[in-house]
Structure 1
Amino acid sequence: MNKKWWHNKIAYQIYPKSFMDTNNDGIGDIQGIINKLDYLKDLGIDILWISPMYQSPMVDNGYDISDYYAIDPMFGSMDDMKQLIAEAKKRDMYILMDLVVNHCSSEHEWFQKAMQDPDGEYGAYFYIKDGKNGQPPTNWRSYFGGSVWEKVPGYDNKFYLHSFAKEQPDLNWENEVVREKIYEMICWWMDLGLSGFRIDAIMNIKKDLTWSDLKPDGPDGLADVYKIPDKVTGIGDFLMEMKQRCFEPYDALTVGEAMFVKEDILPRFIGDEGYFSTIFAFEPCHAYRKGNNYMNYDWPQPFDKWRDETFHNQKIVEKAGFEANIIENHDQPRGASLFIPEEDYGFYSLSALATIILCERGLPFLYQGQEIGMSNRRWKYDEFNDLETINQYHIALRSGMSKEQALDIAGHHSRDNARTPMQWSSEDNAGFSKGKPWMPVNENYKMVNVADEEKEYGSILNFYKRLIAFRKSEEYNEILTYGDLKPMYEKKDHIFSYSRSYKEQKLVLICNFSSEEKDIELLEDYENVVFVNYEQTTVIGNTLKMKPYECVVYSK
């Protein structure tokens, strides 16, 4: 595996709408990001992935783009964007934007022209098909519920495809003209100074062109559209063309949102010859997901499934390349709530989780607020903003659950949990804005915020700083970046342990991820304790006496 500029870096995702508001309209903006670059640099961050800031009607919070060449005025201007790129470069930081090219917005110029003449030039930019006597062409269900097909206005038997919301029509990647326009746009942004992209929903760009029904998987007679990528071949041709045209010439970092890639084809996706630089390691953090709906998911994250998925993932990825490791992002509940039982939330559980993730092999991605222990909030139904959450709430009601039960389930798993405003201080609105925030602030902001944690040596924020410095230190950076990962104590209840080995170095991490004390028999003699989350580690004879959520890293 060839070494790359990004391998030993730390990445951080910004959800701009909720990061920092400088003009007091209740919405985060680009100047807010610029204002906090020094904070992020001090934390140890090198790479910033910023969720969409393109012009958009915001039906899906920016993932419905109406102009790929414009910044939405709610975030600022193109001059602000150029300033952000320049200020990041001054600090040796790298900017990744979200690339959303499976679909665009129904307000995009292309789609507007397509609706005026569905059989014309721009109609071919999308998937517009005749129905079955006024009914949709297939029984595919969109990611947000309901049919993927919407009638073209003014036509009784003509439909357009949308894998997500009806305001997000899918682009026709089979059309070479469409691909060329996408590639032209990507290169325009790279020439502006970006270092790469996180690539959204990219596994959906290849369709089943036979337009065949799937076996129904619900009482509505529909079947989930996410099953289509497993049925079709040829997506690699599109992905390799995009890589060669847009990414290779710039040595760009590309992070694909590619879920459940099978082991035998993983080398095609990541590594030296892969379509992407890396993909997110979704399987471990999604171990709690069973079935199609929130009401089928586990809560909290089952420890054994998480640990098993982590070790399986590390094993299959090892020879192929690097994955991007996460415990949360804008599409998931807060990791502090998902992985940690509510009664166990605190410094030791948060620091244990952080150490496990940041010492794994792969590129660590933090999500805004993770470093201060931001958690889920308690919701009322009319506070939800996320389309997926609202849909899942109603699915739970239709299954026979009470409003209270449906709200509890939706509140646990809602993507809105990750989108509450960043908690900068104990001042009004958590210091995020002097206006009314677009999304309710988590009520715990007076206890969980950057300003207070910066002052407290023993805070989770300062622990993250020490942990990142440990990972990036001259002594341990190579082993924590390139070292092999081997599972240890796999049968021990709530013990998460692995070794990292590189050249003559070896590190061993042992974590008691539970609220109970545990005894661990050490398998070998270790030279030093090099990182801990407790002030003192106790070993009696050959037995490590582990306190609740204690995490120890030994050197050998």
Structure 2
Amino acid sequence: MQKKWWHGKVAYQIYPKSFYDTNGDGIGDLRGIIEKLDYLKELGVDIVWISPCFCSPLADQGYDISDYYNIDPRFGTLADMDELIAEAKKRDMYIVLDLVVNHCSDEHEWFQKALADPDGPYGKYFYIEECKDGKLPCNWRSYFGGPVWEKIPGTDKYYLHVFHKKQPDLNWENPEVRHEIYKMINWWLDRGVAGFRIDAIINIKKALPFKDYPVDREDGLSSIHYMLEDAQGVLDFLHEMADNTFKPHNAFSVGEVFNEKQEELPDFIGDNGCFSTMFDFNETIFGGSPKGWYDSRLITPDDFKHCCFESQRKVENIGFLSNIIENHDEPRGVSRYIPEGDCCETSKKMLGTISFMLKGLPFLYQGQELGMENLTFTSIDEVDDISTLDEYQVALDAGLSPEEALKTVNRLSRDNARTPFQWNDSENAGFTSGTPWLRVNPNYTKINAAEQTQREDSVLNYYKKLTALRKNPQYADTIVYGDLEPVWEDCHNLMAFYRRGSQQTLLVIANYQKQPQTVTLDAPYKKVLLNNLGQLAAEGTQLHLEGYQAVVLEL
């Protein structure tokens, strides 16, 4: 594997609307990120991915971009972004932006021109079809529910949107569209951005000509995933994009990739792949159901273990994964992956240990380092997320009561990760002096950065130990590049693996349950590098692990 500048780094995702508000309007902003760069530096963060802060009507919280070249006034100005890039650089940190190019906003200049003249040049920037008698070109269901086709008022024409109707899909088959996208990417890279997280990118390739797929719900529509499995040629677009943008700049790129095929992995993340890395979503998609969230299965500790190891085996000797516990599209990881009733600081640290010690690039999501938890919504009226609102309706349509439907969406709602960051125990968790755009989790008086900064055994300070271990020159080569080898894989609620480097072998052991558990090593260990509890009970080669105890040993 070719060594890259980003391999030994630690990455952190910021959802700017909920991070830190400096002007009291209830919405986080770029100046808030600037003010908190030292907090991130102390945490051990190198790469900062900022979710969309471009001009947007916020139909999908910024993933509907109306101007790729400007910052939305809610978040600040282009000058603020330039300052953020410069301040990050002073601290040897890198700013990564969100690249949303499967679709734009219906308020983008290109789409407005397409509406004015659907048969003109800008009409070809999108998928616009004439539909006689209302017969749609295909029966695909959008990610947020309903058909992917929306009528252009006053015409017989419809445009395609695989997400929200205010997010028309860009036509990547049109070379003019691709040229405009590459020009925009290079404009940002030349401005000092270190790279991009690439949103929903598999969707840019449609299976054409349009056709129906099997109906899988009572709405008479078909999951978009059938089409994606059928589509061919997305890698041609992605390699062209990389060759024209990322590679000349030696930029970092991380893909949001679903539906990848095993034989395609070298093309995605190999030495000559189109992306630097891609996220591991094996755990997040586990238990999903085509019927909807209400029919999904809970993930057990053994399921989580098998998902992680399956991903590691898939990319072995091919490239780097980006490992996550949560992000802006998922609920809080500690509420999802720790069995109900067992969520505590010890189990939160255990989950962090597993994530950081897997091979790949560790991505923290804001608040993960504090062990922030899901918010319990008492009414659907408290929900902002369009995906959650759709899944609530799907549950009702399936016959669930409003109470049952709310409980279902509570568990998986994207709003769980979007509640304001909990800085301290003052009003609104120190996030804003105004009214926060989304309700603050009431547990902020107990879970907040100020309290955890001061307490040596906090989750925050444990994450600082994790980042420090990853960067420790004595162990960095093994942690970053060493092979990963599962051990005791069939042991119930135990997750353990070796990290084998050229100079040393480390052993990571996590007792993924409340009850104590004993393991026997092949030989005595040399040193305890990390332990989420105060001590480790050992008798010779036997280790007696407390509930949710996690250790990293040098052998």
Task: Give per-residue Cα distances to partners, 1:254-297, cap 9 Å, x unaligned.
Answer: 00100142211110100211110000011133324343411122
1:206 partner letter = K
SS at match of 1:486: strand
Deviation at 1:467, TM superposition (A): 1.4
Q: CA deviation at 1:137?
A: 1.1
Match of 1:473 in 2: 472
Aligned to 1:153: 153
Q: Distance in 2 between matches of 1:259 and 1:233?
A: 14
Moved more, 336-345 or 382-391: 336-345
2:544 paired with 1:540? no
1:321 is aligned to: 319
Q: Distance in 2 between matches of 1:291 and 1:346?
A: 32
Corresponding residue number in structure 1 for 2:362: 364
Counterparts of 2:365 and 2:187 in 1: how far apart (Å)?
Answer: 27
User: What is aligned with 1:209?
Assistant: 208
Matches of 1:233 and 1:395, distance apart in 2? 31
**Structure 2 counterpart of 1:88:** 88
The aligned counterpart of 2:440 is 441
- Asked if 1 retains the 8 angstrom alpha-carbon contact of 2:300 and 2:339, the reply is no
1:134 equivalent in structure 2: 134
1:282 corresponds in structure 2 to 281
TM-score normalized by structure 2? 0.99
> C-alpha distance in 2, partners of 1:36/1:68?
25
Match of 2:134, SS state, is coil
CA distance in 2, matches of 1:50, 1:64: 15
Q: Distance in 1 between matches of 2:543 and 2:532?
A: 15
- The alignment status of 1:248 with 2:247, answered yes or no, reads yes
Measured after TM superposition, the shift of residue 471 of structure 1 is 1.3
Shift of 1:523: 2.8
**What's the offset of the Cα at 1:192?**
0.5
Rounded to whole Å, the distance in 2 between the matches of 1:508 and 1:235 is 39
Contact kept, 8 Å, 1:284 with 1:313, in 2: the verdict is no
Distance 2:105 2:389 in 1: 20
Aligned to 2:245, what secondary structure does the other structure show? helix
Mapped to 2, the partners of 1:109 and 1:361 lie a distance apart of 43
Q: Partners of 2:527 and 2:41 in 1: how far apart?
A: 30
1:309 is aligned to: 307
Residue 533 to residue 240, structure 1, CA distance change in 2 (3 Å): same
Deviation at 1:416, TM superposition (A): 0.3
CA contact (8 A) 1:269 1:275 kept: yes
- Offset, 1:132: 4.9
2:424 counterpart of 1:400: no
| Aligned-partner Cα distance in 2 for 1:341–1:252 | 39
Q: Work out the CA distance in 1 between the residues paired with 2:231 and 2:343.
A: 44
Q: Deviations over 1:199-221 (max 9, x none)?
A: 00100001111101011111111
Deviations 1:378-426 (A, max 9, x none): 1021010000000000110111111110000011100000000000000
* Counterpart Cα distance in 2 of 1:303 and 1:374: 20
2:115 is matched with which residue?
115
Q: CA deviation at 1:52?
A: 0.2
Q: Which residue of 2 aligns with 1:333?
A: 331
CA contact (8 A) 1:204 1:226 kept: no
Describe the SS at the equivalent of 1:344: coil
SS in 1 for 2:407: helix
Aligned partners of 1:456, 1:312: CA distance in 2, in Å? 37
> Which shifted more, 133-142 or 436-445?
133-142
- Whole-Å separation in 1 of the counterparts to 2:217 and 2:345: 42
Does the 8 Å CA contact 1:287/1:302 hold for their aligned counterparts? Answer: no
Alignment of 1:389-468 (within 5 A): 389-468=388-467
Tell me if structure 2 keeps the 8 A contact 1:22–1:29. Answer: yes
Is residue 2:510 matched to residue 1:516? no
What's the offset of the Cα at 1:344?
Answer: 1.0
Deviation of 1:116 after TM superposition, in Å, equals 1.1
Local SS of the residue matching 2:341: helix
- The 5-angstrom pairing of residues 213-224 of structure 1 reads 213-224=212-223
What is the SS of the residue equivalent to 1:12? strand
Quote the Cα distance in structure 2 between the aligned partners of 1:50 and 1:15: 6
| Structure 2 unaligned spans of 5+ | none
Corresponding letter in the other structure for 2:314: I
| Corresponding residue of 1:77 | 77
Number of residue pairs matched by the alignment? 554
- What is aligned with 1:174? 173
Identity of aligned residues (%): 51
Aligned AA for 1:453? Q
Distance in 2 of aligned mates of 1:469 and 1:504: 19
Q: 1:34: which partner in 2? A: 34
Structure 1 CA distance for aligned equivalents of residues 339 and 304 of structure 2: 14
1:254 alignment partner AA: S
In the alignment, the residues of structure 2 paired with residue 454 and residue 428 of structure 1 have an alpha-carbon distance, to the nearest angstrom, of 19
TM-score, normalization: structure 1?
A: 0.98
Deviation (angstroms), 1:342: 3.5
CA RMSD of superposed structures (Å): 1.0
Q: Which moved more, 1:518-527 or 1:77-86?
A: 518-527
Shift of 1:542: 3.1
Q: Decide whether the 8 Å contact of 2:97 with 2:193 is kept in 1.
A: yes
- 8 Å CA contact retained: 1:483, 1:502: yes
